[in-house]
Structure 1
């Protein structure tokens, strides 16, 4: 007996999570994948691309309302106001836009006779108020009551629960920690921004100095690990209508992994030099163009098109401007492991992988070029 073909709609397919999910689902036997994004997509083998503005409800209804092949949705899109990454997380208009975008995808698919079976959405550490509380209890657990603050997570979750209660499909909510991947131009992927910062210093003959603030015990999550978890949740009965924290399986401190990052980029370590990457990197457009030309990179010449708001996100995650000591931010991943998803990755190996991937794609110069 052959397994019926399943089709995953990956929404936000140019982002750090969506890109990883599109590649992963496209590689799975018995699956087809469709990547949805506002920007143009070059889909991997086995995937299709759909360029769509999620804020345009009429366009979404026209593109999705007549489809009879979409069985699963992985919703990894997020709207961030330009220049307002961290502050915008508490902006009411931004929250409502994110709710409307999810509605514009789900409502055309959730109709009589639809083959839709499962929807996965993303939350994260902000569900526990890590962006507003000076300290959260350790470790954060999914069974806790909602943290009492306004958040588009709650708006999207309430919408899903209300629709699912009268439908035949299920949902899963993933709460990943700090996400790392290779997507260029993502607002919440620090990897390209760190790589650019490193090469700007290299060209000045400077070592790779840690730019952040005080140390904090934290957790990371590899974007490809999120993709694996989404594929598991798509088919596991244990994931139905459940919420799961998700992280690599270990903890890290930025200062402790900085030597690994320097080695992956082929640079010597320097003494810490606290500074805001979000303020300094956007001013380096011409210096970045010289690097692109000198090393004949395939990276965008437009610096901000390459790093998005990743430099500002790096400032937040590296505790720029904060005073120590800082309490740890840790989320328990026991629940998802007990439910059946046990994959993990060493965080140091993750950093080496992603910088290596950008070098292989000629988006950054190689470690050998750095050492030459």
Structure 2
């Protein structure tokens, strides 16, 4: 990556943070982190505070964007009511505006621009409103009739790129697992806090979710490597790719491995809405932070909307087994990105890392 300048938009989020970590480790690569808040770790990047919804702030950052060769666009606006917000016209307009504002400022000062990586997900296939076609495949299974900011951003990027030297790639990860503080869709903090509350009571790690559904996940570091690959591979030029770990899982089957990583015994199925319960954990969490000398912040800053996302992901309140949520990764494998990871090992990796970093007790 020598001689390249990578801009990461949404640097405090799950994917953006992983991109900083990946590009920072490569060496010889200038990395600029764009976000409203300064990331907890910059991994050698230079932080530019910016609110992408404000065009004047984007224009004011033009000097910092000069010479950009690669853009990883991982910025995301989510509504306070996370799940309902996915269908909210304002959420769609805001995310569309953010990308337009940034590209309007970046493209004129980056004649060497080579690649824009854009993130979507399985909502492209309507997973939030209907059973997925199994397996969901790029270019065949999209739910274009469902309003979604994905389509607004994708159509804008396709039109903007016409006749230009740079190209784009769209990555569609499944359930992303990693570690970022205050993310809207980051499962390690809410599940870690839930586990800490049970351990404090001397209880095993009960499973709080609903009925099973066969799903997939992706390690955020693997996703960051896929993003980097897409910026260099000819086969990724102006293409859309699903990204997964390569296996499937159900929460019930990986629960013992999660309990082991947290040094707890797996418990029983005890349905619980983490989003409704967490206000009762605010004071006990602060006590645990002091007792264990944790570096994690208060509960709102640490977990934010991810309690809602945990309920959604684990199908809280669902009493019937759900239709499988499976996407095909044949396209990205045939294009040349063939990395895989065991999903059980992935969960253990991140829970153990959260404890090692003193984010969880």
Q: Same fold (TM over 0.5)?
A: yes
TM-score band, normalised by the shorter chain? over 0.9
Distance in 1, matches of 2:64 and 2:12, equals 24
Which sits farther off after the overlay, 110-119 or 180-189? 110-119
User: Which whole-Å CA distance do the structure 2 matches of 1:113 and 1:298 have between them?
Assistant: 38
Structure-2 separation of matches of 1:45 and 1:175: 25
In structure 2, the residue matched to 1:213 is 210
> CA RMSD, aligned part only?
1.4
- Mark the CA change 1:92 to 1:342 in structure 2 (over 3 Å): closer, same or farther: same
C-alpha contact 1:282 1:304 (8 A) present in aligned 2: no
Q: Aligned pair count?
A: 360
Deviations 1:252-291 (A, max 9, x none): 0000000000010011111110111111113311010111
**2:338 aligned partner:** 342
Structure 1 residues 29 and 262, CA gap change in structure 2 (3 angstroms): same
User: Secondary structure of the residue that 2:218 maps to in structure 1?
Assistant: strand
Q: TM-score, normalised by structure 1?
A: 0.94
- Matched residue, 2:153: 156
Is 1:203 paired with 2:193? no
CA contact (8 A) 2:67 2:109 kept: no
Could you tell me which of 324, 345, 349 is aligned with 1:328?
324
1:323 CA drift (Å) = 2.9
Pairwise CA distance, 1:40: 1.7
Aligned structure 1 segments of 4 or more residues deviating by more than 4 angstroms: none
| Alignment pair present for 1:250 and 2:229 | no
What pairs with 1:297-336 in structure 2 (closer than 5 Å)? 297-300=294-297, 302-336=298-332
For residues 41 and 17 of structure 1, the distance between their equivalents in structure 2, rounded to whole angstroms, comes to 12
1:104: how far off? 1.1
8 A Cα contact 1:41 1:51, kept in partner: no
- Once the two structures are superposed, what CA deviation does each residue of 1:175-198 show, in whole Å capped at 9, x if it has no partner? 000001011110101111000000
1:46 deviates by 2.8
Pick the aligned partner of 2:24 from 17, 23, 26. Answer: 26
Q: Distance in 1 between matches of 2:282 and 2:168?
A: 43
Tell me the SS of whatever aligns to 1:271: strand
User: Which structure 2 segments of 5+ residues have no match?
Assistant: none
CA distance in 2, matches of 1:130, 1:21: 26
